[in-house]
Structures are given as C-alpha cells and as structure tokens.
C-alpha cells in the first residue's frame, strides 16, 4: 500500500474510533425504539395482551444482549488470533530474509551489534 493510502487509512480508522461511541448510542436508541414499536404492534394486532407483549419483547431484548456479548467476545478472540498470526508471519519473514542473506553480512551485523553493546556497557572491573 502506498504511503499516501496508508495515511488515509490511518486517518479513517482514527475517525471511526472517535465516532463509534456516538454510533453505538444511536444504534441503542434505534433498537430500543424498534422494540417499543414491536410491543405496540403485538398489542395493536390483538395478538397479545400488554403484559404478554412486554414479556416477549423482554425475552427478545435479552437474546439481542446475549448475541451482542457473544459477538464482542468473538471479536476479541479474533483480534487475539490475528495478533498471534501476525507475529508468526513477521517471524517467518525475518527467518527467510536471514536465510537468503549473505552469511558474511549477517555475521558482520551481529559483530557490530556486539561491539555496540560492549561499548555501551563501558569498561568493567578488571580481574
């Protein structure tokens, strides 16, 4: 993905994260209004008494709540799996790059890292 597209993607993701709470609140209001309308419909169609319609809608509300929790849990599990999968992919790419690299360059890089670590530790006590 080009840098410009990546920046646009990041901006869109940030915007969605900011807007999500409001969208969730609106969805909850809309769902509540739909439940109220369904209860009124059941009573108006003379299919159920007000008390019976209330019981049906409360059962439906409970099922929707359980479904939302299952969806949230599944999303969290999927995110955990994706992070694990990404780590596995990154490790496999690094291993293949190292395998394809000239062994002399790899050894030189390791040697330079070792020198940097030794120089950052400073002189140690002498025996």
Structure tokens at 103: 């062994």
| Backbone angle region of 43, left / alpha / beta, with phi > 0 → left and psi within -120 to 50 → alpha | alpha
Tens-digit pLDDT profile for residues 29-53 = 888 888 888 888 888 887 788 888 8
Residue 14, pLDDT score: 83
d(CA 111, CA 98): 15
Q: How do the domains of the chain map onto residue ranges?
A: 3-120
pLDDT-based confidence at 123, cuts 50/70/90? low
Enumerate the H helices of the chain as residue ranges.
3-44, 50-100, 103-121
Tens-digit pLDDT profile for residues 47-98 = 788 888 888 888 888 888 888 888 878 877 777 777 777 777 777 777 777 6
pTM of the model: 0.45
Kindly tell me if the per-residue pLDDT of 22 is higher than 80. Answer: yes
């Amino acid at each position: 993905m080009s840098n410009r597209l990546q920046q646009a993607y990041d901006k869109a993701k940030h915007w969605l994260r900011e807007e999500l709470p409001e969208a969730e609140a609106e969805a909850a209001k809309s769902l509540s209004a739909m439940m109220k309308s369904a209860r009124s419909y059941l009573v108006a169609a003379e299919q159920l008494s007000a008390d019976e319609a209330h019981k049906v809608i409360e059962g439906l509300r409970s099922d929707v709540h359980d479904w939302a929790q299952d969806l949230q849990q599944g999303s969290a599990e999927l995110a955990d799996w994706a992070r694990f999968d990404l780590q596995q992919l990154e490790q496999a790419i690094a291993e293949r790059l190292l395998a394809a690299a000239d062994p002399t360059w790899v050894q030189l890089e390791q040697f330079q890292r070792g020198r940097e670590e030794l120089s950052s530790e400073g002189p140690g006590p002498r025996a």
